[in-house]
Amino acid sequence: MSSFLELPGAVADPAGVAAHYGEPLPEQRALEAGAAIVDLSHRGVVTVSGPDRLSWLHSMTSQQLVGLRPGESTETLLLDPNGRIERAIRVVDDGERSWLLVDEGSAEPLTAFLQRMRFALRVEVHDVSAEYATVLAFTGGGPAAEALRGLSPAAEWQDPWAAVTVGGVQYARAHGHASEGWAVSQFVFAREDLPAIAALVGEGALRAAGLLALEALEVRAWRPAQHADVDERAIPHEFDWLRTAVHLTKGCYRGQETVAKVHNLGHPPRRLAMLHLDGSGGELPVAGALVYRASAPGEARDPEARPVGRVTRAALHHEWGGIALALLKRALPEDAALEVELADSAERVAAAQEPIVPADAGATRDIPRLKRL
């Protein structure tokens, strides 16, 4: 059991860490201000050492990893041969080994895959999730990040989501991206150090925030995550993940053909949007809730209407109220009024969409059609 669950007010999430500590909205504010930390010890940590580690990882995943400098952070995707997302990987190299930080349930299968791909290369792969854990803090000027750095973490991964990385491209319209100002780090500590970190909270030096606080801030920043948003059909384009996790001009890797085809010639079949939910009922949809096009005023609801998307996660934001990320059909108009199914499928809540990935994303190459007889 995580040491953070022994803190006053801690309410456990099914993942085994704290969902909140009794005050989810104040925890959000403290986390965003850089005054709180989040226990992510349920997530996985994999290390890759050896002189061939970066070129080897580079050859299999979507990001440019050759030349990654010690201390430099990035993220990459492991895709299947059809370009669908298998693993989202946060990468930081310390000059001797690469730290791969992954969501819950990913460390073991990722390690098994990498072990199979070693061949004769000079690399060593280890799942060190039992020895190391991650703690998150916002780094925009509050005391939390500096306090964690003062405890000498084994590694620090700095989230690149605030800007388009070299080799990437942004589908979201340029003005007013919700990630502006997003400054987040994940710190890797030996698990034996977690009680001392939790003690800082108990002494009042820092505040703890739960997963609910982090989820709400990620939803507002349009920040995709594998554990919540990715399903078995997901490709990077649908989440605008080409911003930070894909290098469009690097060499060949598994799934690259789909990445190139969709970006250059086609369109992603689904698109991520943020939904602003009617909060009058005070109830949020659950992950996987179906999204429908709303009936016109005065019209009865069509019981045969087909869903136009699904919610990946919903949250109560301390400023924006009820919000959600949803994967919608590309053909759905961006100004269409929507309804989201609640836990009781007989009830729905009204929702307005804020497009993240536009309906016309992709097809960046204007290739003329051949004239045929």
For the whole model, what pTM was predicted? 0.94
Answer whether 127's CB lies under 8 Å from 189's CB.
Answer: no
**Sequential pLDDT tens for the chain (373 residues):** 799 999 999 999 999 999 999 999 999 999 999 999 999 999 999 999 999 999 999 999 999 999 999 999 999 999 999 999 999 999 999 999 999 999 999 999 999 999 999 988 999 999 999 999 999 999 988 999 999 999 999 999 999 999 999 999 999 987 889 999 999 999 999 999 999 999 999 999 999 999 999 999 999 999 999 999 999 999 999 999 999 999 999 989 999 999 999 999 999 999 999 999 998 778 899 999 999 999 877 677 777 789 999 999 999 999 999 999 999 999 999 999 999 999 866 789 999 999 999 999 998 886 666 677 5
Integer Rg of the chain from CA: 21
Secondary structure (3-state) at 306: coil
Q: Given the DSSP bridges, would you call strands 207-209 and 36-40 parallel, antiparallel or unpaired? A: parallel
Candidates 3.40.190.10, 3.40.50.1010, 3.30.1360.40, 2.40.30.110; CATH matching 270-355? 2.40.30.110
Termini Cα distance of the chain? 71
* Domain range summary for the chain, segments of one domain joined by +: 3-229, 270-355
Per CATH, the number for 3-229 is 3.30.1360.120
Which residues neighbour 117 within 8 Å (Cβ) at sequence distance 6 or greater? 56, 60
